[in-house]
Structure 1
Amino acid sequence: MDERFKSHLQTGLTTLARCWAIRRTDGQEYGFTDHDRTLSFDGLDFKADTGLTALAVEQSTGLSVDNTEALGAISDISVKAEDIEAGRFDGAEVKAWLVNWDDTDMRWLQFRGTIGELRRSGNAFQAELRGLTEALNQPTGRIFQKPCTAVLGDGSCQFDTSAPGYTVEREVEVIENGLVLRWNELPGFEPCWFERGRLSVLSGSAKGLWGLIKRDVTDGATRVIHLWEPMRGGLQAGDSVKLLAGCDKRMETCRLKFNNLLNFQGFPDIPTEDWVMAVPKQTGRNTGGSLR
């Protein structure tokens, strides 16, 4: 805590307000304050009269997760209902300060974390805020399994997803229930090429959102893409989307489809559970296959 701010608290006569900054994963930033006028610092305006309030921050020593909740009203100028429904605030970064509103250079960062579970009811929302130690609750380390553990294009995979032949940008022609997309043709791409891939929205009200592709099939002369779940955000005909080729995590796919076998992160020859139960025998070979 800054010494000037600490001295201000010790006077007993304070001019304090709370400020919150929310930065979504798409880069959009929002500032809120419970003061009666807008405050500004760190290049962001913290707007008053937004209806946002926060409960007390529950902090502890050790590796326990600091947590709190924020309550607010949905409005057209700040948090919109359609953005919540589309998941644009999921995992957003949150910072909370205690600020001297008479001199905003005197402030104390009380909380930093992300938005967890977010619920809405009518014209109000309630957001769970999780501290930075929440990330320590996630399993880490190498996983030993037959399929590849990397995500196509990540630091382990190192495949260049922008390489020719692995992506295509098209305008949506037909979309059914936000789940099924149809095109008259997708020339140059084999059937099932985009299965297990990704669909990213490039324009329209759903810009910035993405979904995972469940199936890529042909229906006569029509190419049909099925998503795992309906696309949120109001995706509609005429919007531009990008399709990324899918990877089923098999060694054969890595070698033949992507020519990236050197970066394959699976263990195709790892013994199965049957191998553990194998016993010496006079005939045949103990190869790790089924005992039957």
Structure 2
Amino acid sequence: MSSLPATLESHLSGEITTHCFCWIIRRTDKIVYGFTDHDKTLRIEGVSCEPQTGLSASEATSALGLSVDTAEIEGALSSLAISDNDIERGAFDGAAVETFLVNWASPEQYALLRSSRIGAITRSGGRFVAELKSSSVDLDKISGRRVTRQCDAQLGDSRCGYKSRAQEGSVTRLISDREVVVAGLQPSDNNWFRNGTLTWANGSRNVVLAYQTHSEGIRLSLRDSPIPDIKIGDTFLLDAGCDKSFAQCKAKFANALNFCGFPHLPGNDAVYNFADGNFDGGPLVP
């Protein structure tokens, strides 16, 4: 339950109130934004909250227990602070959002109502809607390792041990917002870059869904988000793709000794089957 300062609580108990809402968004890259539904700039927690930015919030409820509380904020992409490109490249993913109740006649009277993090963001008709989730969402995160047949390391990290051999390429043609023709790549085989991570010069990333030869180089089909602000001549780094399987780790990367999964883990069929197989301590899965 939020605790209100005595002066603000006294003001809210009066017959006439002058209150509004302010939101402070703190991105993971340390950039901070302030917004308010009031018509004048208000300074809260040392942050100037911009007026009339088209930002509004849905009804928010808090419940006892460990359930995840959710709410939504809606705003206009025409704001100079929040652009479509920023949302596209994930600049606001995981950002902290603090919601304040403020007496706009005396801005020093304010109270923090809730602190949330941005989850999914959807866009439509020049507007965006950001889902806010309470800190209880951290309880849904996986801590430690899971016992699975697939590898849980990232290709090229310290646990994987594979030395990245990313290749540099450049864009020669734009086909759509998810397909480009590039030059400079020399794949070892037809599946070398499938599921590979493509990192653009501005830091944004895409995953290669498929690729094929083209008269001007190689045609890449990308999945997930569209390509943000890419022009002909832009450069990138593309690493090999890994499907997390033991077979590919062994054949494609010759890195079976560092495989961070349990490829010989028996499935439910072996666990619940009759004990008439060859249980001599050898691997049940080749």
Same topology, TM > 0.5: yes
Calculate the TM-score normalised by the size of structure 2.
0.77
8 Å Cα contact 2:3-2:111 kept in structure 1: no
Residue 5 of structure 2 aligns to a residue whose secondary structure is helix
- Tell me the equivalent position of 1:248: 243
- Tell me the equivalent position of 1:64: 67
8 Å Cα contact 1:278-1:286 kept in structure 2: no
8 Å Cα contact 1:93-1:115 kept in structure 2: yes
Residue 172 of structure 1 aligns to a residue whose secondary structure is strand
Alignment of 1:280 with 2:284, yes or no, is: no
Q: Distance in 2 between matches of 1:279 and 1:4?
A: 66
Q: 1:256 to 1:85 in 2, by over 3 A?
A: closer
- Tell me the equivalent position of 1:211: 206
- Tell me the equivalent position of 1:175: 174
Q: Distance in 2 between matches of 1:72 and 1:230?
A: 21
8 Å Cα contact 1:177-1:230 kept in structure 2: no
- Tell me the equivalent position of 2:184: 185
Calculate the TM-score normalised by the size of structure 1.
0.75
Q: 1:3 to 1:269 in 2, by over 3 A?
A: closer
Q: 1:272 to 1:81 in 2, by over 3 A?
A: closer
Structure 2 matches for 1:116-135, cutoff 5 A?
116-135=119-138
8 Å Cα contact 2:173-2:182 kept in structure 1: yes
Q: 1:280 to 1:27 in 2, by over 3 A?
A: same
Structure 2 portions without partners, runs of 5+: none
Which of the residues 226, 230, 235 maps onto 1:231?
A: 226
8 Å Cα contact 1:272-1:288 kept in structure 2: no
Residue 8 of structure 1 aligns to a residue whose secondary structure is helix
Residue 51 of structure 2 aligns to a residue whose secondary structure is coil
Q: 1:258 to 1:64 in 2, by over 3 A?
A: same
Moved more, 98-107 or 111-120: 98-107
Structure 1 position 211, deviation (Å): 1.2
- Tell me the equivalent position of 2:5: 5
Q: Distance in 1 between matches of 2:67 and 2:269?
A: 40
Q: 1:158 to 1:108 in 2, by over 3 A?
A: farther
Residue 173 of structure 1 aligns to a residue whose secondary structure is strand
Q: Distance in 2 between matches of 1:75 and 1:242?
A: 32
Kindly, what percent of the aligned residue pairs are identical? 34
Task: Report the count of equivalent residues.
Answer: 280
Q: Distance in 1 between matches of 2:120 and 2:69?
A: 15
Q: Distance in 1 between matches of 2:3 and 2:62?
A: 21
Moved more, 93-102 or 9-18: 9-18
Q: Distance in 2 between matches of 1:23 and 1:15?
A: 26
Q: Distance in 2 between matches of 1:281 and 1:25?
A: 53
Q: Encode CA deviations 1:100-155: one digit per residue, 9 max, x unaligned.
A: 44665553222222233434443444333221212324555543222212233557
